[in-house]
Amino acid sequence: MTARGRDVRGSAVRLGLLALPAAFFAVFFAWPVAAIVARGLRTDGAWHPGRIADVVAQPDIRHVLWFTCWQALASTALTLLLALPAAFVLARLDFPGRQLLRAVVTIPFVLPTVVAGSAFLALVGHGGLLDRLWGVRLDTTVWAILLAHVFFNYAVVVRTVGGLWSQLDPRQEEAARMLGASPWGAFRKVTLPALAPAVAAAALMVFLFTFTSFGVVQILGGPTFSTLEVEIYRQTSEVFDLSTAAVLTLVQFAAVGAVLVVHAWTVRRRETALRLVDPEITARRPRGAGQRALLAGVLATVALLLVLPLAVLVRRSLDAPGFGYYRALTRTDGGTFLVAPVHAVWTSLQYAVAATVIAVVIGGLAAAALARRDAGRLVRGFDALLMLPLGVSAVTVGFGFLIALDEPPLDLRQSWLLVPLAQALVGAPFVVRTMLPVLRAVDLRLREAAAVLGASPWRVWREVDLPLVRRALVVAAGFAFAVSLGEFGATVFIARPDNPTLPVAVARLLSRPGDLNYGQAMALSTILMVVCAAALLVLERLRTDRTGEF
């Protein structure tokens, strides 16, 4: 076969691989979102584009927009301030327990937001540790929200910036020191410019996660504070004003799109601008009082900010004698659910496994198609579209499922598949981001040699690619499982009362008064935390790269 023939066949194979992912995202993401937006902006069959200006001009909506942006900026700045020292410690210092610290730092990121909210509620809320010791309560204050956002996004900065920092050649900074530069001057002129793209990428991701925050604000903010995501939920499920919810969805969609464009630009700079070294040769034992003090400060920050809330969460779940809150999970006399709350554990595991299978198939096919660096603009554009489910309102997606998927041939409102499909939308981008770098690292000559010898594209994938990316595939499946297990924004709409997921069950228990409901919420949150932490520890042992990135 000629080179032109192989190129034509390669293009056809790529388009064929993208067919299923494109259809999946079109049917289960674009269609539900478009359906709810269209229903909100149409009245009596006519479009009302002026409704956008009318909604944005409302004082309470402007306050929501302002608070959403303000708290996202404040959360991002505070996360950078507290996490950048930890990025240096894990990148450049070698000390006992370093790998354990890396895993501990990452655990909050894979936890569902409702668990993070529950943990801080147990720490700073009514009857929490601070309330018991000093009578201090921070729930329903902005500080509880900011601290919970730092708790949740700490690992984003540590793993993203620290991964690059560990690969920067330290001899460049040492050369600047030998030429007379002070430690701060050498860092500012040599290291900081090299880290700037990674810092910017991490900051943008933290801003994106906090801008679209839902579970944390819903639990800790009370009626006082509301982000766009929370307001979309309130307008949809409580006020039943689809028009306002649709406008807010469009506003959030535009903001998220802008953030993703800037993030893609910073990632491209990061990939092409630096010469990197083996991270194992850059880590050294702490030297001097300054580095030892920095290490101690980071350990204290991790203990107080990350470990303490989780420890208090576990402690509050054990307040009842004889594991009373855990035993109460097996009973149906609480009136909150149609089934015993413990049933949510088995339901969530089933849903998460199904969502993982869907996410791995969809994300794996997309990653295989996007792996070729000579892909056209259409294929590269689809790569960017795959990230949209991470930023578009999950509440909108969930409610859109109920509106769009209620007629044949896709009448899924009563189907158990509805929840795994929504969870897979969030898991698939993680699969793509995990597998794509590994697939792109495969030597093209291996594929070309197999093709020249007559192997079909499927056999090339099975004999060449799959053995090299098998571990990456397992890691991607683990991330998809953890993310699916904790998805809350969409499933809060579509999870049935007789089959609630763990995050939905926790939120419903927290919304009801009484010590028993609160204790059961703490117990379920602890169970969810243990399952997610176990999945993370498996991922740490199976990491295919040594950069420490997601």
pLDDT exceeds cutoff 80 at 298 = yes
Contact 298/105 with Cβ under 8 angstroms?
A: no
Of 433, 357, 421, 356, the closest CA to residue 394 belongs to 421
335 against 547, higher pLDDT: 335
Tokens of 250: 């469009």
User: In the chain, how many H helices and how many E strands?
Assistant: 27, 4
The arithmetic mean of pLDDT across residues 135-145, rounded, is 82
Contact 111/154 with Cβ under 8 angstroms?
A: no
Consecutive H or E run containing 524:
helix 515-542
The label of the residue with tokens 């293009």 reads 11
Tokens of 283: 């880590």
Query: If you classify domain 1-42+323-544 with CATH, what class do you get?
Result: mainly alpha
In angstroms, the CA 72 to CA 74 distance is: 5
pLDDT exceeds cutoff 50 at 313 = yes
Taking only Cα atoms into account, the Rg of the chain, rounded to an integer number of angstroms, comes to: 24
Q: Is 318 strand, coil or helix? A: coil
Contact 485/112 with Cβ under 8 angstroms?
A: yes
Per residue in 351-362, pLDDT tens?
989 999 999 999
The arithmetic mean of pLDDT across residues 37-49, rounded, is 67
**Fold exhibited by the domain 70-316:** MetI-like fold (1.10.3720)
Angle between helical axes of 466-486 and 418-441 (0-180°, round to 10): 150
Per residue in 201-229, pLDDT tens?
788 888 988 988 888 888 888 777 888 88
Per residue in 436-487, pLDDT tens?
767 776 666 766 677 777 777 667 767 776 776 777 777 778 778 878 887 8
Per residue in 165-202, pLDDT tens?
777 767 666 676 676 666 666 777 777 777 777 788 78
In angstroms, the CA 106 to CA 103 distance is: 5
Tokens of 131: 């309330």
Preceding omega of 223 cis (within 30 degrees of 0): no
pLDDT score recorded for residue 545? 46
Domain ranges of the chain: 1-42+323-544, 70-316
**How far, in whole angstroms, is CA 356 from its chain's centroid?**
15
Torsion of CA 300, 306, 309, 310, to 10 degrees: -120
In angstroms, the CA 507 to CA 514 distance is: 14
Of 324, 304, 287, 250, the closest CA to residue 47 belongs to 250
In this chain, the answer to whether the domains covering 1-42+323-544 and 70-316 adopt an identical fold is yes
Contact 201/265 with Cβ under 8 angstroms?
A: no
Q: Within 13 Å of residue 235, how many CA atoms lie on the same side as its CB?
A: 25
Tokens of 547: 């950069």
**Strand-pair partners of 549:** none
Q: Which amino acid is at 125?
A: G
Of 209, 214, 200, 215, the closest CA to residue 256 belongs to 209
